[in-house]
Structure 1
Amino acid sequence: MKNFLVFILILVSKSLFACGFYPFGEELRFSFFRLAESRYYSYAEFNYSANTFEPRAVYKDNEVLPNEKLWLNYCQNQVPISDIRLVLNELSSYDINPSNKNKLLQYLYKIKDYEALNYLKFAKECEFFNSWMDDPWERNEGMVLPKRGKLLSEAIKLSKQSKRDELRFRYAFLAIRLAFYNQDLKTVRNIYDSVFKNDKQQNIIDYWSLYFRSLAETDKALANFYAAQVFVNAPDKRFMIAQGFDSKVPLESVLKYAKTNKEKANIYLLAGIKKHDKTIEYLEKVYQYDSNFDGLNFLLLREINKIEDWVFTPYYSLFSPSIETNSWNSDEISIQNILRRVEKDRTYALKVLQFVNKVDLNKINDSQFWKTCKAYLLFVTKDYSESLALIGELENSIKKSDLLFNQLEMLKALATVANQKNGEAFISPEIQLIILKNKGFNKFIFAIGRELEYKGNTTDAALLYSKMHDNEVTEGHDYYEVAYWKTIKNKGDTYSDFYSDCFDYINVMYTPQQVEQLIKDVRFNATKKDEFSQWKYSFLKKQLPELYDLVGTKYIRQNKLSKALLNFKKVNISFWNERYSAWERNNYNWDGSNVFDKNPFYELKYTPSFIPIKDTIHLTKTSITSQLIKYIDLANDKKEKDRDYYYFLVANCYYNMTQHGNAWMMRRYLWSSDGNHSILEDESEYFQCNLAKKYYTLAKINAKTEKFKALCMRMIARCERNRLEYLYPYTYDSKIADYGAYILSKNKYYSDLKNDYSADYIKLTSDCSYFEDYFRGRR
């Protein structure tokens, strides 16, 4: 939104939203507590998300992988990791020869470890067959390949012959993997149980083998037990093994296979991660069985992310959470019910906080993380003072370079604003710095604005909402960072019940006085030189004409014409020409619908010209409002001999300022033939033409001839028809054979026209070309 008509284009885009786009899932979710990337990277595939689980890298770039570490140990740390990685990931069996300068190969040839070299060659030969994609015709019978079977037999033999345990286990793993892809699940079970099951020094090779063993297990409870152990110990297998964990199997059946507390903790961890609902009991069990466990930390982080969704997504946006669990019954969704659910979920957050308070920080891994979680849960439960006190303690013990510190700062900003009294909320210098540091985080900026708005500071709220446009999401960027929100006033039949744009929102929700206060603030503070002011006002300081237009439009909706004119006069003519005139057509008048091309006092849509235009004016909101005030004054002047004439012109203007007229842009920024109902305060006037009806009635009362009275009655009846169509919309009721006749039967003014002016009824209702004759008959 770079100028006023971009506002309008955004409103036009709402029609696209209504037809096709509606935010859901991750687009709605509010989450400020984001630590998986920095602290629990290997679990990040299982971050709480409306998209459930997403496969991704589990090791950071250049991180030494478990298998690489095994080879490094095998070579007694004499070989660079880069050379080990090259052999494992890139070389073929043909590249493994004495002439290769790779330092791993040179080391093995130097110490004459031909067994290891032969293993590497054999492993490379097996790579092609460790996949489901070997058969180009995708025939099931092609899954069992003779070549793979031969390699399987060879792997089993070599495993038995190996003199070194490291290589014996590696050959056994190759055999297990070949057997699995050969659909020989019995062999998978036999090899694992004979080679790995009783191995005391388990490493990544054991857990890679257990991965296939779990997939080959027919006992679902035992398969779940194996899956949980693989999940914890083989990060690169987590995504796939989690899919194989059957949450329907009772945990009691799985736990009976666990021999150690660590194994029990692993079971509760995976079961908890697979659960999208409340998981407090799983947290407690993991802590009970293995308190010094990074998986426990991740499970707590995930639970807080759930609580954020359940509390903050509704609290800030008034949408339901991105994931509707059993506690969020879709049959009960209304904004009021949503807000009641928020309070229940804050109570659950208190339960999680109580658990955190009971934890012995000396027993857990990463005490600073747990303290930060406590501060966060205090904020969620609205204990802002305690949250801020704990944040103050933590800030002195956490390095500013740690992402945890930035999490604390964002939490501090939210809690500080939320902790202020109604009517006294402001953005302190300290909070300004935090906002600037996170100015690209749209939903955080929006949440600060929402907290300010809830506290009565609608001016700063609007200024922060306006910054959404500086961070406008474009193709290739993260659409999940756009803030979408509803208002409590919206109803189910509203044309568009959500917002993503500052102007759209204040157009509907702010009073004229609130927008005037916003303008005043921008005018007097936008010239400040400090960084925060420059950032905060950078967008709206360019939009003052648009805001004056908006205030004037709001006063038009309230029929406060003098106040409307006062604001319209603050807008220069170039603005009106660019936005509402056909003279300077640009990108914002792309379809011509927003152009004042008909005089609203003398011309009616779908009606031949019937009134001579005496006062030609350059049509702008300013000139139309000024002329309307002038004509109302003339019409109300008892000494004026043409009161009926001026009342009629006033009525025409009010009619044209409705959805049915040619000056609808006096009240709206978007027009559609479909109605597009809103929650604007003049909604009934916009569709019912009540003011036009009032002034046509006054024109009739002051009319001097029966012909002009008949024309006034015809216009009154037209207004009444619009009112009835708004009150009784066509609903394809099978009982209504003729909707037009149904509306006509309810319109008493057509009956009055027929009864009181029977000779004129047919002409005035069947052909509006007669209007000119009846208007000339005014005298």
Structure 2
Amino acid sequence: MVFKIYPSIMRIFSSFILLFFFQVSFACGWYESAETSRLALFKSEREGFLKLRYFCYSANSFHEVNMVSNKDQELNCLEWQKKIGSKVTTDDIHTILYETDSDQFQAAYHTNTLKKVFAKNTFIATLLLPKNKSFFDYLVFAKQLEYNNVPNSKWESWNSIKSYQENGNTVALGSYNQKILKAKDSFLKQRYAFLILRDRFYNSDKAEVIRLYDTYFADNKNTILEPWALYYKALCIDDFPLQNYLLSKVFASCDDKSYAVMLHYNFKQTAATLNLAKNDEERNMILILESLRNPAPDLKTIKEVYKLNSNSVYFSFLIQREINKLEDWIFTPKYSVNKVPAVNFDEMSWYDNYEKAKEENFNKDTYYLRQLRDFLISIHAKVSGEQKDFMASAIAQLCFIDDEIDLGKKYVAMISDEANASIQMQKNIQLALVALKQDNLQDEKTQNKLFNYFNAIEDLVENDNSLLKNLYSLYRIASNEFSKQGDKATAGLLFLKSDLKKEGSDSWYYNPSFYSYTGYFERYATLDDMDNLIALYQKEDKTPFEKYICAGTTAPDVNFYKDVKGTIAFRKNNLAIAYQVFASMPASFWQKNYEYRNYLNENPFVPKVLQKEKERKFNYRFNKAEFIAKLIELKKENTAASNLQLAHAYFNVSYWGNSWMMLAYDWSSSGGENYSDYVYGEDNHDAEMKYQNSNYYRCTLAKMYYEKVLELSKNKEEKALASLMIFECNYYDYYGIFAISDTERMPFKSGEEITDFYSLYSKTRTFKQYNCPLLKAFIN
């Protein structure tokens, strides 16, 4: 998550406050990174993709990875095994070279306890044999140098390690050269040479780096050390096209330096770099490097790469990137809260005229999708093995993005049962999409199929949490499809499941709160939806699918949902249902949950607008059922006095009153978007405008009851108060339209009520209590 400072005033009682229980009235805003909200469903991979994961399509500069390739380390261990004997296991070699801290190794060496400390390690046992002394001496020297390379993290151990360095804290260049020259074995010569080359690089001795590479590696490339050494040589060359060319050779030859290569590759030298390529293979690698950093449509390059090597893993990876681009351009605006792609080249074009830009970009992206799909279909029969399964998966995904479900099913069926686990996972995602798009989602068989598909993917997340992005995307689409088929209960649970996966993949821990469990439903559910949700919550013999969607998404208390149902009923002025629901809840609920105790804590029958700040008391014990019962009773009485209380109550449950939380779960000082708007993807202002026949913002019901007071009452005090409050309702109606919305401002025109207040009722106690010079200024 990212915090950002905005210049505008935020909602004083934003749901950010209510969800996380601290107050932020100004400046500090909340937003998600574009990468967090980006949708991505396609994750088919081939063997060899691991080194490329940094370059998956991403809104960030580079994709975050949770696993990296250790292929180079394995190759180095194999080289050692080949040199000193097959009885030494590569695991033991790896343990010493890559897992053993230099402190630990040197301490054991200088106390002659290597055999004891590494008692079961075949690598150490073999190196300690007299015949392998030269190899052992190299390892000791390498571990000594390893210690020298990170002195800042070793300062606390100087005393215990004693003096392991030659000539102080560094090893002199002459010592290096002497060790290289004394080494009789070419294996050791190269390894000593690599150590000095790397040391000289970090000491900015470019000429020596180049000399060492040319002397010991240029004509002897049959080692994993060669591309490592070439990487350092490349960075010592000032000719950028040549540097690029050498870096492309490093990228092609090893995994370990792939990310580092991309950090240094100069993308402004494309043509000059291509001119240095000696053959199609080298030209192909340069094209691939260029494409790996291209966020725009890149089918032209992909076709060139295919011509040069149709079975290339790099070609497959570029296809994955291209599909992820299309998912971002098409899915992210459709299903995410941002409504624009995560990677956006011209942001202003979206905001100048969003609907126009959205349509134009959708048409353009769909056309490009079909070009890419048709190309892949044309080559599908020409590829084989893992590549063929990958291509079938890719074509199917493009079909599903374009809602070509039947054609997508055809290619899903072509994925063999022997396809790797990644492609099989993608197949489950695609079969889930088929069911979501074509089947009756209320059918138990369909739901069981979905459960199996979802569950199969969930099982893989434990070993690869990068799949959380795919689950977030899949559940977001699933939520949308259930919603379209009228099942808001399931849709809401899937929406929260999607959010949990999204937040779980980010850098902070997401703990659902009251509003997390209820937010979707208070915005989108009907009373029937809430009945279905409550019934599902209380159902004892849930199906596997029902258990699955409820796991981690349902509130800890069914009364969370009852409160939402009662609130929806009250918004619709259905007092009977609202009372029935609230009366079925514990009376203590509103004292113990959410922020009710902090925002439903004043007398709802005393208009907030008439109270001075020092007169307000916040110790009222609010009970929603009792409040609704009181309204029902007052309506039955239908007297001037009862209508006055009703009017006060409806004013207070409006946006402007002290009991707004009877209708809403957050409050805004500006009417702009807040945290909950961000989570659910739209400004809720239009929906709020309809609460209680527009009473929430426009005080329509409050005004109606105040007008009844004028009609029924013969008491000047009541009439004076009703006249004053009608004026207040009119003013807040005006203020709500022109201050909260974007409507063009018009001058406020007061009605006759304020005139009557200053003429007919000027002798009343009410007039004396509430008269002020500002009020009189509104008389037209």
Shorter-chain TM-score range? 0.7 to 0.9
Match of 1:586 among 579, 583, 592: 592
Match of 2:253 among 233, 248, 252: 233
Judging changes above 3 Å, is the alpha-carbon distance between structure 1 residues 326 and 666 closer, same or farther for their aligned structure 2 residues?
closer
SS at match of 1:186: helix
Query: 1:690: Cα distance to partner?
Result: 1.9
Distance in 2 between residues matched to 1:112 and 1:481, nearest whole Å: 55
Alignment partner of 1:598 is 2:603: yes
List alignment gaps of at least 5 residues for structure 1: 1-6, 137-144, 485-498, 610-616, 636-642, 737-741, 771-779
Query: 1:388: Cα distance to partner?
Result: 1.9
Distance in 2 between residues matched to 1:121 and 1:517, nearest whole Å: 70
CA contact (8 A) 1:36 1:298 kept: yes
SS at match of 2:599: coil
Output the amino acid matched with 2:704.
K
Could you tell me which residue of structure 2 aligns to residue 659 of structure 1?
655
Output the amino acid matched with 2:225.
I
Could you tell me which residue of structure 2 aligns to residue 729 of structure 1?
739
Distance in 2 between residues matched to 1:433 and 1:154, nearest whole Å: 64
* 1:605-620 matched pairs, under 5 angstroms: 605=608, 607=610, 620=623
Match of 1:505 among 520, 523, 540: 520
* 1:733-752 matched pairs, under 5 angstroms: 746-749=749-752, 751-752=754-755
Distance in 2 between residues matched to 1:303 and 1:464, nearest whole Å: 28
CA contact (8 A) 1:425 1:455 kept: no
Query: 1:186: Cα distance to partner?
Result: 1.8
CA contact (8 A) 1:36 1:44 kept: no
Could you tell me which residue of structure 1 aligns to residue 628 of structure 2?
625
CA contact (8 A) 1:93 1:121 kept: no
Q: Deviations over 1:248-300 (max 9, x none)?
A: 22x22111222132222221222222223333333223322233332332332
Q: Deviations over 1:196-238 (max 9, x none)?
A: 3344x44311101101011101011111111122123222222
Match of 1:277 among 292, 296, 299: 296
* 1:179-328 matched pairs, under 5 angstroms: 179-199=200-220, 201-249=221-269, 251-320=270-339, 323-326=342-345
Could you tell me which residue of structure 1 aligns to residue 769 of structure 2?
767
Query: 1:320: Cα distance to partner?
Result: 4.4
Judging changes above 3 Å, is the alpha-carbon distance between structure 1 residues 157 and 325 closer, same or farther for their aligned structure 2 residues?
farther
TM-score, structure 2 as length reference: 0.76
CA contact (8 A) 1:277 1:325 kept: no
Query: 1:750: Cα distance to partner?
Result: 5.6
Alignment partner of 1:717 is 2:707: no
Q: Deviations over 1:330-379 (max 9, x none)?
A: 65377635743345333333233233223365367633222212221221
Alignment partner of 1:644 is 2:640: yes
SS at match of 1:314: helix
Distance in 1 between residues matched to 2:657 and 2:333, nearest whole Å: 39
Judging changes above 3 Å, is the alpha-carbon distance between structure 1 residues 543 and 17 closer, same or farther for their aligned structure 2 residues?
farther
Could you tell me which residue of structure 1 aligns to residue 690 of structure 2?
682
Could you tell me which residue of structure 2 aligns to residue 23 of structure 1?
32
Output the amino acid matched with 2:291.
G
CA contact (8 A) 2:716 2:761 kept: no
TM-score, structure 1 as length reference: 0.77
Output the amino acid matched with 1:234.
C
Alignment partner of 1:668 is 2:698: no
Query: 1:104: Cα distance to partner?
Result: 4.4
CA contact (8 A) 1:384 1:416 kept: no
Q: Deviations over 1:28-48 (max 9, x none)?
A: 122233356986223233333
Match of 1:34 among 43, 59, 83: 43
Output the amino acid matched with 1:313.
T
* 1:34-433 matched pairs, under 5 angstroms: 34-35=43-44, 40-53=49-62, 65-89=74-98, 90=100, 91-92=105-106, 95=109, 103-104=122-123, 107=126, 112=131, 116-128=135-147, 151-156=172-177, 159=180, 163-199=184-220, 201-249=221-269, 251-320=270-339, 323-326=342-345, 329=348, 331-332=350-351, 336=355, 339-340=358-359, 341-359=361-379, 361-362=382-383, 366-394=387-415, 396-398=417-419, 402-420=421-439, 427-433=446-452
CA contact (8 A) 1:160 1:168 kept: yes
Could you tell me which residue of structure 1 aligns to residue 480 of structure 2?
450
SS at match of 2:276: coil
Output the amino acid matched with 1:700.
L
CA contact (8 A) 1:45 1:56 kept: yes
Output the amino acid matched with 1:393.
M
CA contact (8 A) 1:349 1:377 kept: yes
Could you tell me which residue of structure 1 aligns to residue 570 of structure 2?
556
CA contact (8 A) 1:27 1:480 kept: no
SS at match of 1:394: coil
Query: 1:568: Cα distance to partner?
Result: 2.8
Q: Deviations over 1:744-771 (max 9, x none)?
A: x73234652256427348x64552499x
List alignment gaps of at least 5 residues for structure 2: 1-14, 116-120, 156-165, 462-470, 613-619, 673-683, 773-780
Q: Deviations over 1:420-455 (max 9, x none)?
A: 589999944312322344468454333211222234
CA contact (8 A) 2:193 2:216 kept: yes
Structural RMSD (CA): 4.5
SS at match of 1:501: helix
SS at match of 1:257: coil
Judging changes above 3 Å, is the alpha-carbon distance between structure 1 residues 395 and 685 closer, same or farther for their aligned structure 2 residues?
farther
Output the amino acid matched with 1:657.
V
CA contact (8 A) 1:228 1:266 kept: yes
Judging changes above 3 Å, is the alpha-carbon distance between structure 1 residues 321 and 543 closer, same or farther for their aligned structure 2 residues?
same
After superposing the two structures, state which structure 1 stretch, 227-236 or 53-62, moved more.
53-62
Distance in 1 between residues matched to 2:709 and 2:501, nearest whole Å: 53
Query: 1:24: Cα distance to partner?
Result: 1.9
Distance in 2 between residues matched to 1:62 and 1:172, nearest whole Å: 22
Could you tell me which residue of structure 1 aligns to residue 4 of structure 2?
none
Query: 1:26: Cα distance to partner?
Result: 2.9
Distance in 1 between residues matched to 2:422 and 2:637, nearest whole Å: 69
Output the amino acid matched with 2:690.
D
Rg larger for? 1
CA contact (8 A) 1:215 1:223 kept: yes
Judging changes above 3 Å, is the alpha-carbon distance between structure 1 residues 287 and 747 closer, same or farther for their aligned structure 2 residues?
same
Distance in 2 between residues matched to 1:278 and 1:729, nearest whole Å: 43
Output the amino acid matched with 1:594.
L
CA contact (8 A) 1:697 1:712 kept: yes
State the identity %: 21
Query: 1:116: Cα distance to partner?
Result: 4.3
Output the amino acid matched with 2:251.
F
CA contact (8 A) 2:34 2:343 kept: no
Judging changes above 3 Å, is the alpha-carbon distance between structure 1 residues 445 and 500 closer, same or farther for their aligned structure 2 residues?
farther
Judging changes above 3 Å, is the alpha-carbon distance between structure 1 residues 134 and 671 closer, same or farther for their aligned structure 2 residues?
closer
Query: 1:715: Cα distance to partner?
Result: 2.1
Task: Determine which structure has greater relative contact order: mean sequence separation of CA pairs < 8 Å that are 6+ residues apart, divided by chain length.
Answer: 2
SS at match of 2:59: coil
After superposing the two structures, state which structure 1 stretch, 714-723 or 341-350, moved more.
341-350
Judging changes above 3 Å, is the alpha-carbon distance between structure 1 residues 712 and 363 closer, same or farther for their aligned structure 2 residues?
closer
Output the amino acid matched with 2:750.
N
Output the amino acid matched with 1:41.
L
Could you tell me which residue of structure 2 aligns to residue 565 of structure 1?
576
Query: 1:417: Cα distance to partner?
Result: 0.9
Q: How many positions carry a matched residue from both structures? A: 698
CA contact (8 A) 1:50 1:322 kept: no
Could you tell me which residue of structure 2 aligns to residue 461 of structure 1?
491
